[in-house]
Amino acid sequence: MPAPQPPPALDAAAVDRLVAQAEAAFQAAATTAELRGAKSDHAGDQAPLSLANRAMRQVPPELRAAVGARLGAARAAVERAWSERDQVLAAAELAQRLAAERVDVTLPVSLAPVGAPHPVTALMDQLGDVFVAMGWEIAEGPEVEAEWMNFDALNLGPHHPARATSDTLFVAPPKNHLVLRTHTSPVQIRSLLTRPLPVYVVCPGTTYRADEFDATHVPVFHQIEGLAVDRGITLGHLKGTLDHLAQTMFGPVVTRLRPSYFPFTEPSAEVDLECFVCHGDSVGQPDRPCRTCASEGWIEWGGCGVVNPRVLKACGVDPDEYSGFAFGMGVERTLMFRNAAADMRDMVEGDVRFSRALIGGAR
């Protein structure tokens, strides 16, 4: 009796042939779409290998294990061949698609037109941040201000030259004693009058002078002033605070105080900023001049001093118990040397190119 035989469709040669046919068809497919057709032909429900599987019933029981294993291996081989080819074709097609989908990323794009805050506002905010971080608060006040707040309380007596119409803009009629504030110092006065002691405030804002309007002067400008009134405040605290401000804004630089005169401070000083560009290296070196400090090593920044006790008295603060310091800088002037602005007039003419020049504001 001959050994039992599987049906012809399931013999080894036939199965190998089917596998080879499937592999050849997959290789012949040039696209994933063709490959999908080939897969359906060679691994789908009606594929010869699937039909062969149904013939298992005719396999004698003693051979089933071996034939089943052969068929399983064959199906796995077909599946593997498909998968390998599919990966190759899919990768090629993806590559082709990506190549075809290339765009010119340098084309102009925009969600919105190019907007910008004004550099003066942005810088004023930044200066304020330095003090908010130290626990100071930001104080504000009216721009049309009483003379008492703007002058008298600050120890500028009735005959002080700053009160002349050549310097100060008066609200009509002058006998009403109202002016456009000439500095933000009246906000310091208001702070002392209304806030509980100790007081640590900065006062940014718009200020007015009957000044020329040219490349270096503008009659409407901005200031940021600071005031600290506490027990035991010293000139050393003023220096430390200005150094901190300078370093936050300009990197590792220090400030220098030159004795000067202001009615509202005593002692008074001009504050110079060590040049943050050349750090003084350009002084006496005509071959490498510094534009930022005009090769002087220092930049005039503002005025400062110990609060005059007369000012404290006018605000009802006991100068025997409290002392204070105050300082003030021009924001436009700071912008001029910090960001190399060439002409003050550009700051108030509203040309959009000026505001847009510092994308996102002053840095």
Partner 1 sequence: MRAPLSWLRQYADLPQDLTGRQLADALVRAGLEVETVERTGPELAGPVVVGRVLSAVDEPQRNGKTIKWCLVDVGPDHPPTVPVQTGQFGQTNGAPLGRGIVCGAPNVAPGQLVVVALPGAELAGGFKIAARKTYGHLSDGMICAADELGLGGDHSGILVLPPTDDAGRPLVPGQPAGPLLGTPDEVLDIAVTPDLGYCLSLRGLAREAAQAYGVAFHDPAARTTPAPRSDGWPVRLETAACPLFVALTVEGLDPTRTSPGWLTRRLQAVGLRPLGLAIDVTNYVMMEIGQPIHGYDGDRLTGAIVVRQARPGESLTTLDGQTRRLDPLDLVIADDTGAIGLAGVMGGQTTELGPDTVKVVIEAAYFDPVAVARTAKAHKLPSEASRRFERQVDPGAAYAAAHRVAELLVQLGGGRLSGRQTVAGGVPQPAPVTIAGDLPGRVLGHPTPPRRVESILTASGCAVTAAGDELTVRPPTWRPDLRDPYDLVEEVGRKIGFGEVRPALPRARAGRGRTPAQQARQRLNWALPAAGFVEVVSFPFVSAQSLDQLLIAADDDRRRLVGLANPLADTAPYLRTTLLPGLFAAVARNRSRGLDDLALYEQGAVFLGPAGPAPVPPVDRRPSADQLAAIDAALPRQPRHLACVVTGDWSGPGWSSPALAAGWTQAVGFAQLAARTVGLELARRADQRPPWHPGRCARLLAGESVVGWAGELHPTVVSAFGLPEGAAAAELDLDALIAALPGPGQLPGLSSFPVVKQDVALMVDAAVPQGEVVQALRQGGGDLLESLALFDVYSGPPVPPGQKSLAFALRFRAPDRTLTEDEAAQARDAAVQVAAERCGAVQRVA
* Residue 48 C-beta: closest distance to partner 1, Å: 48
- Coil, strand or helix: which one is 251? coil
For the segment 184-243, give every residue that binds partner 1 (CB under 8 A): 193, 198, 200, 206, 210, 213, 219-220, 228, 230, 232-237, 239-243
- Taking CB under 8 A as the binding criterion, the range among 58-66, 71-79, 94-102, 253-261 that sits at the site for partner 1 is 253-261
Which range, of 31-39, 40-48, 117-125, 335-343, touches partner 1 by CB under 8 A?
117-125
- Residue 312 · residue 322 · CB < 8 Å: yes
Residue type, 333: R
Judge whether 300 and 270 are in contact, CB under 8 Å.
yes
* Nearer Cβ to partner 1 (71/124): 124
Please choose, from the candidates 304, 303, 301, the residue with its C-alpha nearest in 3D space to the C-alpha of residue 337.
Answer: 301
Using the CB atoms, write b or e for 126-151: b if 16+ within 10 Å: ebbebbeeeebebbebeeebbbebbb
Provide, rounded to whole angstroms, the least separation between the CB of residue 21 and partner 1.
Answer: 51
Near partner 1 in 300-329, by CB under 8 A:
306, 308-310, 313-316, 323
Tell which residue, 145, 135, 137, has the closest CA to residue 202.
Answer: 137
Two structure tokens written together for 296:
């002087």
Residue 138 touches partner 1, criterion: CB under 8 A: yes
d(CA 189, CA 203): 11
| Interface pick for partner 1 out of 15, 49, 74, 153 (rule CB under 8 A) | 153
- To partner 1, the closest distance from the beta carbon of 288 in angstroms equals 20
C-beta of residue 278 within 8 angstroms of C-beta of residue 297: yes
User: Looking at 270, 274, 278, 330, which residue binds partner 1 (CB under 8 A)?
Assistant: 270
In 3D, which of 6, 13, 60, 312 has the Cα closest to residue 188? 312
Site for partner 1 in 60-99 (CB under 8 A): none
Looking at 2, 8, 61, 113, which residue binds partner 1 (CB under 8 A)?
Answer: 113
Please select the residue that binds partner 1; options are 11, 34, 86, 266, rule is CB under 8 A.
Answer: 266
In the complex with partner 1, which residue's Cβ is closer, 23 or 147? 147
Q: Which of 231, 154, 230 is nearest to 188 (CA)?
A: 154
